[in-house]
Structure 1
Amino acid sequence: MSGGIVAIIVIAIIVVLVIWVISMYNGLVTMRNRVSNGWAQVDVLLKQRADLIPNLVETVKGYAGHESNVFTRVTQARAGVIAAANNPNTTLEQRAAAEQQLSNAMVNLRATAEAYPDLKANQNFMDLQQKLAGLEDKIAYGRQFYNDVVLKYNNKIMQVPTNIIANMFHFMPAQYFNVDEQTRQNVPQVKF
């Protein structure tokens, strides 16, 4: 073989390797962006829920003003969610735990509302309940979608050969949006 042919083969191999690295890198960036987008979608829904809750609390308060402990827990849980959402140092696990505490407090609020037939018949309350139920469904779907995207991304950065590129460019695994075991065990108790 002449030197020219060897040089062409070497250049072709280098070009193929460069294209391969660029392709793998771009695929990883796309997956990482999907994870970010998935979380952003869930975050929007969680903020909508947090914004809807004060209206629901005020409506229930009008009928069940003496149930102040329930309202205090909902208000505190909502404040915890907002604080977690606004703190850039909050981990996904901490955010999920705060969201779970709010969900638990909302169960107590709904149980309180069940004890007041006039409230259940109130159109404003029914509208707010429907909006909240719709948001809860969207949040559940968004969490599932987010966790599916995280699974795909994490698999991608751990599988050969993309793990080589992922390690070279410091792609880190994404966190799932799960509720910790302690929060799951703290099921709300409804007492009247």
Structure 2
Amino acid sequence: MGWIIGIGFVVILILLIVIAVFIITTYNQLVKARNKVKNSFAQIDAQLQRRFDLLPNLEETVERFASHEKKILQNVAAARSGYMSTNVAKEKLAMNNQLTSTLKSLFVLSEHYPELKANTNFVKLQEELSETEDKVTFARQFYNDAVTIYNNKLQMFPANMVAGMFGFHEEELFNVVEEVREAPQLFDDNDLTDEERERYPLKCPHCMGVLDGTRNCPYCGARVV
């Protein structure tokens, strides 16, 4: 009888050791996968930081030539402020998407301001922002791959049990915003003071004639608003 109890004890001990080894191994694999996600995001964050560091110069340049585009400038400032005020990856990515959408609108609007479009500093900033965005896109691919592998581990049995025990949670993919499909509206002339209206007359992008507030240019007849 004693030897039966002894065998049972050994079997239970072996099972406990196997379970412990499984838990430790799975935990370490999950930590490794999570660290890879963090490292991949750090690569993105470095490029995002560079991108947002360019914004004060961009805002100053746009202010010189199109200061009445208040909404665009406010959106750029809001995205920069939101990014700088958080350390949460999800929120940083959201601010980057907001900035991307705003910059697309800004660059479309710049077509209506020849002086701004031709400004050397503005052109350089466009190139630097575009280059940084390309680097973000490249880093995003590695980040999303790391997130997918990590999330798959969390969802598969029996690793999901270990993940639940130690509080591992899924990470979100870095999804990009859709392209701007329509050109943004120019500023509303009614929002300007008389002084601003005189200083910054709205011009036709086709013939550069000063507009009179109607939807068609009084000089070339082009529809502009």
TM over 0.5: yes
Change (3 A) 1:65 1:13: closer
The 1-side partners of 2:112 and 2:179 are apart by 25
Residue 134 in 1 paired to residue 98 in 2? no
Q: 1:191 aligns with which of 164, 167, 185?
A: 185
Partner residue of 1:75 out of 74, 77, 88? 77
Deviation at 1:116, TM superposition (A): 3.3
Q: Which residue of 2 aligns with 1:63?
A: 65
For 1:59 and 1:16, the matched residues in 2 are separated by: 65
Please give the alpha-carbon distance, in whole angstroms, between the structure 2 residues aligned to 1:134 and 1:184.
19
Q: When you count helix as a share of all residues, which structure comes out higher?
A: 1
Give 2:95's aligned residue.
Answer: 98
Q: How high is the TM-score relative to the length of structure 1?
A: 0.74
Normalising to structure 2: TM-score of the pair?
0.65
Q: Choose which of 145, 161, 164 in structure 2 pairs with 1:167.
A: 164
Q: Distance in 1 between matches of 2:63 and 2:179?
A: 28
In the alignment, structure 1 residue 124 sits paired with structure 2 residue 124: no
Gaps of 5+ in 1: none
Distance in 2 (alpha carbons) for counterparts of 1:173 and 1:71 = 35
| Distance apart, 1:59 and its partner CA | 2.0
State which structure, 1 or 2, has the greater radius of gyration over its C-alpha atoms: 2
Q: Please state how far the C-alpha of 1:128 moved relative to its aligned partner.
A: 1.5
Q: CA deviation at 1:133?
A: 0.4
Q: Does 1:24 align with 2:10?
A: no
Structure number with greater CO (CA < 8 Å, separation at least 6) is: 1
Rounded to whole Å, the distance in 2 between the matches of 1:113 and 1:56 is 12
Please report how far the alpha carbon of residue 10 of structure 1 lies from its aligned counterpart in structure 2 after TM superposition: 6.8
1:157 and 2:137 matched: no
Q: Can you give the 5+ residue segments of structure 2 that lack an aligned partner in the other structure?
A: 187-225
Alignment root-mean-square deviation, CA: 3.2
